[in-house]
Every structure is written in structure tokens, then in C-alpha cells.
Chain A
Amino acid sequence: MNNTWVKYALVFVLVVLIQGLVVNNIQLSEYVMPMVYPIMILLLPFNQNALTSMLIALVLGLCVDAFSDTFGIHASAALLIGYVRPTLLKYIQPKEGYDTSLLPTVHDMGFVWFGLYASIMLLIHHLWFFSIEVFRLDLILLILGKTFMSFVMSIGLIVLFQFIFYKPSRS
């Protein structure tokens, strides 16, 4: 139990630093703003309740905000997916339920399930993020464009991140 939380704390620091110092510098165009830090919220254990995931998301978001001078937008978007996560997990549950010894990673749950789960979470996150950031109805196409382009990049990075830092829970 303790060991798991130490591991999550390490992942937290790693994710914030990678987002703040590396990924924030990928500025290919004004449409592409990849975000890798939602992986921290995505990969929490299956039975995590909304309260804990919201608090983790809030702290995570504020840390990322501090690194990217966004003054609270990352925290807001992270908070939203932290709140949505338990409900979404309930909707996309496999027939036999979740095995709590596994984690919601590509390795444990397979590409199809993870792809669906991560896409919904990331699309909600990015859409909220760019809507708050731009906050103009007449620029809706800009918001959608930013959301989609960044989403493609983010999901690629998140899958890549798992292949680098995660192993299957059971080999």
C-alpha cells in the first residue's frame, strides 16, 4: 500500500517535470499544444473515488500551471476529468468488471479499451482547456482545431510514455 503511493508520488514529479520542461517546448504551430500530464489521472487505480482523483488532479494541474504560466487553466481541465473519470469508467466497464490488481494501461487492458478510454478523457480535457483559454463563441473553429490537433499529439505521447515507463502488472 505504502509502496504504491511512493510510486505514484514519483510518477507525479516525473510527469510534472516532463510536461513543464520538455513537452511544453513542443510548439510546432499555434494549433498543436501537446499535453502528457493527464496520464497521471488516467492511470490511477480503477477503484479510486472521485474525491481523491479530483484533489490529485487539482494539485497536478496547479503544478503544471506554475510551469507553463497558464494561471489555472490546466488545473481547471484536470479537475474536470478527475471528476468525470469514475463515471466514465462505470460506462465503459467490460462485462466481467474490472480486475483491481490491474491498472488502466495499454499493457493491461489492450489497445482498444485504452484507446476508447483515453480518447474520451483527453477530448473532454482538451475541449474544456481550449474553450476556457480562447473563450469566444465566434472562434469555435479555432477551438475545435486546437483540440483535435493537440489531441492527436497528446494521445501519441501518452501511449509512448507508457511503453517507456510502464510494464504489464502481470507478466
Chain B
Amino acid sequence: MRRLLQFLKKFRDFIIFLLLQAFVLSLFINSKNYHKAQMVNTSSGVVGWFIEKKHNITRHFHLGEANDSLAIENAELRSQLPESFYKLQDRIYYINDTLYEQQYEYIPAQVINSSDNRRNNYFTLNKGTKSGVQEGMGVITKEGIVGFVVDASPHYAIVRSVLSENINISVKLRRNNEHWPLKWNGKDNSIVQLNGVTHDIDIREGDTVVTRGNKGMFPENQTVGYVNEISLTDGKSTKNVNVKLAVDFSSVYYVYVVQNFLKEEQLTLEGDLFKPKGDE
């Protein structure tokens, strides 16, 4: 009898272990399959507060690099101003025309917490819904795309980085507009993969891979990276294509969150045509 009780006691621990394990694993699996964070993360109040305090100390360590990159970007933008062009024809004048309508606006933000060595990597930004950041917005730097927002609290936002398992951002070649979804196999945090590149497609090392602009997440033609290795596997109808990312994910600091004013219009229009599949 005593042995039986002891046995049951041991069994009780094991059952509780299995139940709790099933609970935490379901949290993890849910977080991979939905485009929305299901659990407390670094965008929530208390944790976010601590992370921001840490950021206030550590942000000064990379200030030099950050300033250099901002200065370079300023110089590039300055060179595009009307004042930096020599007027070849004096009679050119500007009128306030209605040919253009603002589609994208960029919300500047800083990365206050990040990882680049896991299977699914996330960034925490110091801007949230109060600054206009919403779930589903794309995030870019001046070098290229970084990821998209999966959760936003009033003051913080969580970004799923390109270095994630089911990232599936649609990309194309700048040269001939062939397009595929982007994948990451988790091996190297500066290399991502293109899936389903068939043999008939003209793709060369050094080609620039850019965003395609579907789903309204990113503007079209934002750099993603450069094709750096094409290999063949015997008996497979597709090529393995490795893309070197344009962004150095270990030192991302200043980022822009993309606000697309026409996104809803695009998605409603497409929603009438294509029935949504799965979690897309």
C-alpha cells in the first residue's frame, strides 16, 4: 500500500510536469504561427520600463557609429535637395501639383533591445501606438528592411526580424522582377534564402534583391540584400539561393517604421478577389 502511494506520488509529479510543459509549449508554438504576440514580452509595461532604463545606460556605447551613419544619410539626402542641383535651364519652375499623393510616412524609432542569435529574433522599439506604430507595419533602416511590427503597447513595439522562421516576406530581383518568399534557415545571421527558384530563371551572383511591396508592408524596391551564392542539388528542380543581407543585424539602432496610408485600401480591394489563406 505504502509503495503504491509512493508510486502515485511520483506519478503525480510527472502528470503535473506534462501539463505545465504542454502549457508553455503551446505558448511557444502559438507565438510562431500567428502574426501577433500572445504572451508578455518586452513591449509590456514593467519589462519595457526595465529595458528602457538599461537602454538609457547602454545607448551611449554605440553613439559614435550611430552618428556616423546618420551623418552619411544626411549627406545623401542633402545631395537630393533642389539647391544641390545646377540649373541647366533657367525657366524651370515648380508648381504645387496634384499628380502626387503621399503614400508612405516614416516614424523614426530606436532599437532598445535586440537579439540576432536565436531561431526567431525580435527587436524592441522605443515608439508605440502613441507615436502611431501599429501591428503589421514594416520596419526599415537606410540600408534595407529589418522586419515588421508584431505587437505594440502605448510606448513600445516588438518587431519580428527578417531572421525568423516563418518570415515569408515577398521579395523580387531588381533586374527582372522575378519574385519569391524570403526564408531563413537559422544557420547564419547574415545570410537568408530564396525558396523555389526554378532552373529556367535568370539569376546571377551579385543581383540585388528588393521588396515587392505586396501586402502594403514595405514600399516597393527597398533593398533586402544581394545574391551571393547559387548552388544546385542533384535531382531537385529548384536552385538553392543564398542572399547576403544588406543590414548588419547585430548593430541595428536607428530604424524607420513604415506607415502606409493606402494599405487598407489595397488590402480591402485584394480581399474581395482572393480569399485569405491560413494566417495571412
Contacts and interface: CB of A to CB of B under 8 A. Distances in A.
Interface of A: 17, 20-21, 24-25, 27, 29-33, 49-51, 54, 58, 61-62, 65-73, 75-76, 79-80, 83, 132-136, 139, 142
A67 B116 CA distance: 15
Range, interface on chain B: 35 or more
B24 A66 contact: no
Given A51-B13, A51-B16, A72 B188 contact: no
B259 interface: no
A5 B263 CA distance: 54
B25 interface: yes
B189 interface: yes
Given A71-B41, A72-B39, A139-B185, 8 more contacts: A24-B115, A50-B17, A54-B20, A62-B24, A68-B115, A69-B158, A79-B21, A79-B24
Interface in B107-154: 113, 115-120, 122, 124
A20 B37 CA distance: 19
Given A27-B117, A133-B119, A61 B24 contact: yes
B56 to A, nearest CB: 11
A26 to B, nearest CB: 10
B106 interface: no
A58 B124 CA distance: 24
Nearest to A55: B20
Interface stretch (B46-54, B84-92, B167-175, B232-240): B46-54
Given A79-B17, A79-B20, A79-B21, A27 B115 contact: yes
Interface of B: 12-14, 16-17, 20-21, 24-25, 27-28, 30-32, 37-42, 44, 47, 50-51, 54, 58, 113, 115-120, 122, 124, 158, 185-189, 250
A83 B17 contact: yes
A29 B44 CA distance: 28
5 nearest A-B pairs in the assembled complex, by CB-CB distance: A71-B31, A72-B27, A72-B28, A69-B122, A66-B40
Contact of B38 (A33, A71, A73): A71
B158 A54 contact: no
Nearest to A24: B115
Contact of B186 (A61, A70, A139): A139
A54 B14 CA distance: 10
5 contacts: A21-B50, A24-B115, A33-B117, A68-B115, A80-B21
A18 to B, nearest CB: 11
Contacts of A25: 58
Given A17-B50, A51-B13, A54-B13, A69 B24 contact: no
